[in-house]
Amino acid sequence: MSEDGRHGLTIIAFIGSVFSPWYAWARRGGRAAEPAAHCALNVALYGPGGRWAMTERRGEALGRGEDWLRIGPSTLRWDGATLVVEFAEVAAPLPRPVRGRVRLHAAAPGRRGFLLDAAGRHRWRPIAAAARIEVELDQPRLRWSGPGYFDSNDGDAPLEEDFRRWDWCRAPLGQGEAAGSAVLYNVARRDGTAQSLALRVHPSGAIEDMPPPPPATLPRSRWRLDRPTRADPGEAPRVLRTLQDAPFYARSMIATRLCGEATVAVHESLDLDRFRAPWVQAMLPFRIPRSLR
């Protein structure tokens, strides 16, 4: 988010795009599908001039090395402390260009990773829970800086096979050199079990486990999507702004209290029962077109 709160940006690089209808159709009937043949760079701009792009590309558009990734006309490079993303995408459903570059500076990258399911098929690593970003966009013309976040997920099975839903929250804590963050990750698994991760990330990058705070409820989204979260005892978090509102997914800015501090957090809620519904799958190609190149 920008320092003034007017603008926001999310970038997600997918290999084996987990939300792709094309990838889901390729796997129908238990068929094997090559993940590299379904890659995409999702760029979501929030605020004035907001745009949303996620064009799926074929395997020929993918290139990668130990510290770089190319998906079509867009590239990501990581030197161990700074992530540079240069992108040239097209928004959907209205085809408008989304071009620019982002630099994310991770002062102390974290090294811990976490399993999200008992079988170890889904993994998550918060690489930089408290980072700084510099955004320079050519189309639309924007320039801003602010706090950022960098993580990675990987897995060996479709999300909807092993999870019913999950919610995630990242909240900045402290100021200046003492600035850190709290990260909450709650999953409801398909087998009926659940997991709640509650982490405090220190300025050094060290990740401390803490007891999960009590459950709390936010108002449903316009698509009637539940937005569960957790907060300090007695706290009633509230939605300040809904950044993204889809039938199966919502991203919001919320006012909450964690670790005894009042803070403004980014919250995400994902409903995979909704995602796998035929009516949702039929809508997705309009937001996730597939390139012929």
Task: Report pLDDT digits (tens) over 108-123.
Answer: 888 899 999 999 999 9
Written as one letter, the residue type at 249 is: Y
State yes or no: pLDDT of 194 exceeds 80: yes
Query: How many separate domains does the chain show?
Result: 1
Average pLDDT over residues 169-175: 92
Tens of pLDDT, residues 10-20: 999 999 999 99
Average pLDDT over residues 166-190: 92
Helix (H) or strand (E) holding 24: helix 21-26
Of 23-37, 129-143, 146-160, which range is least confident?
23-37
pLDDT on residue 238: 98
Specify the pLDDT at position 260.
Answer: 96
**pLDDT attached to residue 29:** 81
Taking residues 141-161, report their average pLDDT: 96
Residue 118 carries which DSSP code?
T
In the chain, what percentage of residues exceed pLDDT 70?
99
Does 3 fall in a domain?
no
Side chain identity, residue 243: L
Is 2 part of a structural domain of the chain? Answer: no
Q: Which helix (H) or strand (E) holds 21?
A: helix 21-26
**Mean pLDDT rounded to a whole number for the chain:** 95
DSSP string, 33-96: --GGGSEEEEEEEESTT--EE--EE-GGGEEE-SSEEEETTEEEEE-SSEEEEEEEEE-SSS--
Q: What is the pLDDT of residues 212-265, one digit of tens each?
A: 999 999 999 999 999 999 999 999 999 999 999 999 999 999 999 999 999 999
Measured CA distances, 237 to 8, 183, 207, 240 (Å): 21, 15, 24, 9
Does residue 221 lie in a domain region?
yes
> Is residue 110 within 8 Å of 128, Cβ to Cβ?
yes
Structure tokens at 84: 């540079």
Residue bearing the bigger pLDDT, 128 or 175: 128
Assigned domain for 292 exists: no
* Percent share of the chain, pLDDT over 90: 91
Per-residue confidence band for 4, with pLDDT thresholds at 50, 70 and 90: very high
| Tally: H helices and E strands in the chain | 4, 21
pLDDT score recorded for residue 203: 87
pLDDT of residue 231: 98
Total residue length of the chain: 293
The pLDDT of residue 56 is: 98
Strand partners, 239: 254
Q: Is residue 291 part of a domain?
A: no
Buried b (16+ CB within 10 A) or exposed e, 92-131: beeeeebbbbbbbebebbbeeeeebbeeebbebebbbbbb
Residue 103 lies in a domain: yes
- pLDDT at residue 67 tops 80: yes
Residue range(s) defining the domain that contains residue 43: 8-286
In a domain, 293, yes or no: no
60 occurs within a structural domain: yes
265, 258 Cβ separation under 8 angstroms: yes
